[in-house]
Structure formats: structure tokens, C-alpha cells
């Protein structure tokens, strides 16, 4: 098992008078930005697999999925058989759309003491995402709902709905925007891109970005919105931000091609524009770029 991180690490001033986060806060991802800064300083002196793992957990709390994935690759390079590392890497691989590797690593932990409903739910999500519907439903049936947290129960219900239909059905069942902490918020922005009034969409995505400025999906939805509003220079700046923290996945490459075609005026245009579209993204409202 991985070594306990700084057994004596408590929340107290160091020699420079700076507060050192305690181990519980680091493990739970509390004050994640401070934890990342602290862990990065420690790694400059002596990098280790456990420090990469702990920083990855905090990157996940910040929705910095690509950076978390990079850290888990480094952790597994140094300690490839650690079940805790494999389990967390399975999560990060799902967030960077590497579903095959996510499945492989989640299955490696199935027989370990870490196996739980969350791991089984992760496998179900990955199989459904890769259109392996029978396997997805098989894993959904294996989940003991009573062992899940309230949050995971709501996610389980959504995954079951998706398994019975698709993400469009999930969107139609939503009464309002899900919490920014919920994976369902990505379904909301994806499926609502064409149907949510532009001014409202702009306000909501900017609010989400304020909460999680490193979230690559929030950045991508904002960039898409800017492309829709023909704000190509601003969209290019946002896509540059994404490229710093997220790999060029298949869907992301397709998105960049779409952006390039839109910028060149090679996409079909609508004959008219709604009033809300014309009000959205005024020149002085671009606080995120």
C-alpha cells in the first residue's frame, strides 16, 4: 500500500510562517488550490508517486482533469501495481475520454479491498459511453444502491436513465441546471447548447467557470458559445487555455476542426438571429477569455 503522507503533517506554520495543510484536508481535496501549491513545492524537493497521487486528487477537486491524469500517469510509472493509484487513474481516464484505459484500470481493482459501488458505477458509465450497452446494464445491476452516498445515488439514477434511452432524455428530465460538482452539468450544457436562450446560457456557463476556471469542459462550452456568437478571436484564446490542461481527444480534435471551419466561414449559417442571441456576449462582457 502507498506510504502515509507526512505522518507528522499538521496544520501549523512552517519555518517561513506559512500554514501547512493537514493530511486530512489534502486527502479530501479541501482548499484544493492551496494543497496543490503546497504539494508542488514538496515535489520540487523530492518527487514521489504518493505526492503525484495526492496532487491528482486535489486537481480533480479543481476539475483540472488533464493535469490530474498526467500526475496519475507519473504515480503509476513509479508504482504501477498500487490499487489506490489504479482506482484514481480509472476516474481521471474517464474524464479525459480515454474510456478503454479507464475500464482496464477499474477492472484491475475489482478484486481489491478498494472495490465498491463507485468503481462498479464507473465501469457501467464507461461501457455505456462506449456503446457497450449490455455490459453497462450488467454492471448497473451489480450495484448495491444502499452502499452509495446520496450524491452517487442521484448519479446512478441518471446513468440508469441514460442506459434506458440517451443523454437527450436526461436533459429533458432536468428542471434546472445541475450543480457544477455534478457530472450531469456537462449533459446540461451539451444538450442545452441549441435550446437554452443564449443570454441565459452565457450567464450560466460564466458562473460555472467562475467556480471552476480550470474545468476543460466548461472552457470548451464557453469557446463553442463564442464561436456561435462569431467571436472567433476570443474563442481561440479559450481553446489555447484548454490545450494547456487537456489532451487532444477525438472529440476535442473534431471540435477544433469545427472551429477552424467556422472561422473561415465554411459552415452553413442561419437566416436570422434571435433577440437573445444578439444581446449575448456584448463587447465589454467577455470576462472569460
Q: How does pLDDT run across 54-71, given as a tens digit for each residue?
A: 999 999 999 999 999 999
Contact 173, 188 (CB under 8 A): no
Kindly state the average pLDDT of the residues 184-201: 95
pLDDT of 202 > 50? The answer is yes
Residue 269: partners with Cβ closer than 8 Å, 6 or more residues away: none
Look at residue 146 and tell me if it is in a domain. no
19: β partners: 13
Residue 160: partners with Cβ closer than 8 Å, 6 or more residues away: 140
Look at residue 8 and tell me if it is in a domain. no
Look at residue 252 and tell me if it is in a domain. yes
Look at residue 216 and tell me if it is in a domain. yes
What pLDDT, on a 0 to 100 scale, did the predictor assign at position 9?
A: 37
Look at residue 87 and tell me if it is in a domain. no
What pLDDT, on a 0 to 100 scale, did the predictor assign at position 156?
A: 92
Q: Which of 5-9, 43-47, 61-65 has the highest mean pLDDT?
A: 61-65
What pLDDT, on a 0 to 100 scale, did the predictor assign at position 2?
A: 32
Look at residue 242 and tell me if it is in a domain. yes
Domain count, the chain: 1
| 2-16, 51-65, 153-167, 208-222: the lowest-pLDDT one | 2-16
What pLDDT, on a 0 to 100 scale, did the predictor assign at position 110?
A: 80
Look at residue 204 and tell me if it is in a domain. yes
Cα separation, 175 vs 39, in Å, equals 40
What pLDDT, on a 0 to 100 scale, did the predictor assign at position 29?
A: 66
Q: What is the mean pLDDT of the chain?
A: 85
pTM of the model: 0.84
Q: pLDDT tier at 115 (50, 70, 90 boundaries)?
A: low
Look at residue 40 and tell me if it is in a domain. no
How would DSSP label each residue in 223-270?
A: HHHHHHTT-HHHHHHHHHHHHHHS---HHHHHHHHHHHHHHTT-S---
Question: Residue written as cell 434546472?
Answer: 176
Domain that holds residue 256: 195-267
Amino acid at each position: 500500500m502507498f506510504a502515509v503522507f507526512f505522518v507528522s503533517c499538521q496544520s501549523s506554520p512552517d519555518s517561513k510562517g506559512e500554514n501547512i495543510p493537514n493530511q486530512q484536508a489534502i486527502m479530501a481535496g479541501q482548499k484544493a488550490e492551496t494543497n496543490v501549491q503546497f504539494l508542488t513545492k514538496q515535489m520540487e524537493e523530492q518527487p514521489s508517486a504518493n505526492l503525484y497521487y495526492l496532487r491528482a486528487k486535489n486537481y480533480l477537486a479543481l476539475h483540472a482533469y488533464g493535469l490530474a491524469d498526467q500526475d496519475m500517469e507519473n504515480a503509476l510509472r513509479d508504482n504501477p501495481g498500487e490499487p489506490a493509484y489504479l482506482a484514481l487513474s480509472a476516474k481521471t481516464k474517464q474524464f479525459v475520454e480515454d474510456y478503454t484505459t479507464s475500464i482496464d484500470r477499474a477492472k484491475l481493482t475489482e478484486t481489491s479491498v478498494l472495490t465498491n459501488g463507485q468503481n462498479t458505477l464507473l465501469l457501467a458509465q464507461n461501457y455505456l459511453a462506449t456503446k457497450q450497452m449490455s455490459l453497462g446494464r450488467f454492471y448497473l445491476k451489480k450495484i448495491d444502491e444502499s452502499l452509495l452516498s446520496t450524491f452517487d445515488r442521484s448519479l446512478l439514477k441518471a446513468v440508469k436513465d441514460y442506459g434506458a434511452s440517451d443523454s437527450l432524455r436526461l436533459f429533458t428530465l432536468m428542471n434546472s441546471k445541475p450543480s457544477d460538482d455534478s457530472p450531469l452539468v456537462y449533459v446540461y450544457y451539451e444538450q442545452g447548447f441549441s435550446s437554452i436562450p443564449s443570454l441565459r446560457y452565457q450567464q450560466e456557463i460564466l458562473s460555472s467557470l467562475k467556480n471552476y476556471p480550470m474545468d476543460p469542459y466548461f472552457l470548451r462550452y464557453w469557446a463553442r458559445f463564442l464561436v456561435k456568437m462569431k467571436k472567433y478571436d476570443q474563442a481561440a484564446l479559450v481553446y489555447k487555455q484548454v490545450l494547456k490542461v487537456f489532451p487532444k481527444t477525438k472529440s476535442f480534435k473534431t471540435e477544433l476542426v469545427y472551429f477552424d471551419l467556422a472561422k473561415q466561414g465554411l459552415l452553413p449559417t442561419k437566416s436570422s438571429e434571435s433577440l437573445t442571441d444578439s444581446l449575448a456576449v456584448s463587447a465589454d462582457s467577455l470576462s472569460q477569455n
